[in-house]
Homo-oligomer: A and B are copies of this chain.
C-alpha cells in the first residue's frame, strides 16, 4: 500500500473559504497534504508570509493529515524535496482554466514523475478568489461569507481608514511626479 503525499501550493493572500473547501477535499484523497505558501519576493502582498501561514494553520488545525509550510523557487522542486508525488490544484467552473493546464504541463516537463491533480471546490465558492476578496475588503464590502471568520477579522484590521489616506497620498505623489517630468520636458 502506498503513502501518497500531495502539495497544495499557492499565495493564499488571504486564504479563502474556497481554499479551505479544497483542503478538506484533498485531505480525504491523499494520505498527507502540505499546504505550501509561496514566498514571492517580487510582489507586495497584503499579508506577510508569516501571517498567511498562521491563518492557514488555525484554519486547518482540525485536519490530522494537513500541515502548512512555506517555500520559494519552483513548486516542482519543493514538491520533490518533501517527497510529494502529487500537486493539488483547484479547478473552478469560472476561472483561469487554461492557465492551470499550462502550469501543469510546464511542471510535468520540469518534473515528469510529479502529477498534478485537479479537484473542484463547492460551486458556491466558484467565484471567490483572493484578489476579489482583497478588492471587496478594500472597498469596505462585507467579506463574511467569503473567508473564514479569523481571516475576516484580520482583513478588517488591515483595512483601517488610515490605509485610504496612503492611496490618496500615493496618487498625489504620482501626479506631482508627472507634473515635474512634464516641466523638465518643456524646459
Contact = CB atoms under 8 A, between A and B. Distances in A.
Interface string A99-133: 00110111011100001111110011011110010
Interface in A60-85: 72-74, 76-77, 85
A141 B4 contact: no
Given A85-B28, A174-B44, A165 B139 contact: no
Interface residues of A, number: 68
Contacts of A132: 102, 106
Contact of A29 (B102, B115, B124, B174): B115
Interface of A: 1-4, 25, 28-31, 41-42, 44, 72-74, 76-77, 85-86, 91, 93-95, 97-98, 101-102, 104-106, 108-110, 115-120, 123-124, 126-129, 132, 136, 139-142, 145-146, 162, 165-171, 174, 178, 181-182, 184-186
